[in-house]
Structures are given as structure tokens and as C-alpha cells.
Amino acid sequence: MMLAKKSAAGGVVVWLITLLLTTSDSELAEMVHKVVLFAIFVIVPLGLSVVAPNDQSRSKLYKFIVFAQPIAAFITLTSFFFEKGLRSAALASAWLSLNALIALFGLVRLTSRRIHTLEELSIDAGLLYLPVAGLWLVIYRLGVQPFGYGEMIILLTAVHFHFAGFATPIIAGMSGRVLGNRNYPQRVFVAVVLAIVVAMPLVAAGITFSPWLGFAGALLLTVGVVLLAVLTVGWVRPVITSARWRTLLVIGAISSCAAMVLACLYAYSLATKMLIITIPGMALTHGFLNAFGFVTCSLIAWSQIAPKDRITL
């Protein structure tokens, strides 16, 4: 776990350096590139730091993943300095390969447990969804546009599955670990996990088949995230003894609510073909609230609290 946190801390330094570099002629693409690189260098190792295994059967794979993560991140970074094509996609495939290993770790977690608690299943889902992000990143760097998608939609899909697909179920799982057997509305937490996990394929189907499916997925994800915010403020926050980490969790909860309202507005505008908020507007508002407000603040707090299964804090 310490190595993953050190990787995330080092990743912040590398990411700050990338802010000085130019990777695209488009201002919007440049901005979204920086968000993707933040996910690669900071969010994924932070997520890994909170899911360190307790048993030896999974520790070797986990340690290899944590060791390989910064290597894969640097190789993927270089892909942004080449023209889109086979060479750029081949470099980005290093990240897809790491994502596949993380999903394998999630599968091993899932199949090796005798008891499947809801919070652990939520974490498993986050680990298993990550290769979707890596796949879309490779497609973006390849420069092809399957199903007639624009380049920006492909890039934003990669962003979405790093933050909503990977990080959000893990954050929900951490909340579930803290709540444990305490007196809290358990049905609400069930709704949180089901909504977050089920929303991911719905959002993907919306991109591929119908914007109304995408709106349904965005609405379901919003319900799950808002309910998670309610649990965080009402039941998780009082359990955390450190004022610093309580504050970060509350900031994350408030940011998530604001971000998801914007996501619903955007999905509705796509379904109705009514301009409510533009892609640049979404990147500047929803993107930054979700990435830096919700996911980053929450994962930093959980990386310090580091609750294990049914731990008493």
C-alpha cells in the first residue's frame, strides 16, 4: 500500500510537469489530455493503495501491478507526443495491459472469497471496469472512430471509465467497509452499489445505441452517487476521527452531487437534441468537479484512513 501511495505522490509531480507540455493543437483536447494523465499517474495508484490485499494469495499479483503501474504510465505518456496511429496506440496499449492485470486482480479477489459482502463486490466492479478505460484510450491514440464517434467522445469515454467506472465503485466500497455492522440505512447502501455498478454498461450502451439509454444510465449513476453523498455526510463522516479526512470526504460528497446534476443535464440534452451544456462546458464543470472534487478528495482521504474489511475505526 505504501508503494502505491508513493507512486501517486510521484505521479502528482510528473503530472504537474506535463502541464507545461503541449500534446495537442486543440485547447479542449489539451485540457482533457491533462485529465486523462492525472487519472493515469495519480488516480489509479491512489485507488490501488486502498485495495491492498490482506492475504498472501493475492499479494504477489498486487505487488507486481503496483510496481508496473508507473512504468506503464510513462510509456503511455509518450504516446501523446506521437501522431495518432499504430505507434501511438502501441505505446498506449501498455496502459491497457496494466488495466487488464488490475481486472485480473479484481477477478481473483472475487473468486477467492468465501463471503461476498456488498462493499467488496463494489470494489471488484471498479477493478473489473478499468480495462474499458484503457481500451478507449488505445482507440483514441489509434485515431480511428468506431460507430462514427468523434475523437472527443472517444477520449471522454476513456476519462469516464477511469473516474466513474474505476474510482467511484471503489469509493463506495470504502464507505461500506467503514459502515460495516453499524446502525445505518443498509437498503440505501444496496441502492448505491447497484445504481453505480449497473449504470456503467447503461452509459456505454447509450454511447453505442441510443442517447436515451445514456440518459437512463446518467440518471441511475446520479441516484447512486447522490445517495452515497448522503451516506457519507450522515453516517460515514461521524465515524472518521480525523477532521482533515472528514473534511475531504464532505468536499468530495458535495462535489459529486453538483457534478452529477451537470451530467444528467448533458445526457438529457443529447437525448432531446436540445443544447443545454456543451462538451467544453462539461469538461470545465462536471469534469473538474468529478475528477478533482469528488474522486481525488475522496481517494486521498481513504488512502489515509485505509479501512479493511469490517474494521472498527
Per-position pLDDT tens, the chain of length 313: 678 999 999 999 999 999 999 999 899 999 999 999 999 999 999 999 999 887 665 688 999 999 999 999 999 999 999 999 999 999 999 999 999 999 999 999 999 888 889 999 999 999 999 999 999 999 999 999 887 778 888 998 899 999 999 999 999 999 999 988 788 888 999 999 999 999 988 877 776 677 888 888 889 999 999 999 999 999 999 999 899 999 999 999 999 999 998 888 888 887 888 878 887 788 888 888 999 999 999 999 999 987 765 433 3
| 306-312 LR contacts (CB < 8 Å, sep 24+) | 306/1, 306/49, 306/50, 306/52, 307/174, 307/177, 307/178, 308/54, 308/177, 309/54, 309/117, 309/120, 309/177, 310/177, 310/180, 310/181, 311/177, 311/178, 311/180, 312/180
pTM of the full structure? 0.93
Domain residue ranges of the chain, discontinuous segments joined by +: 2-305
Work out the number of other CB atoms within 10 angstroms of the CB of residue 57.
11
| 135-138 LR contacts (CB < 8 Å, sep 24+) | 135/96, 135/99, 136/161, 137/36, 137/76, 137/92, 137/95, 137/96, 138/89, 138/92, 138/93, 138/95, 138/96
Q: Looking up cell 440505512, which residue turns up? A: 185
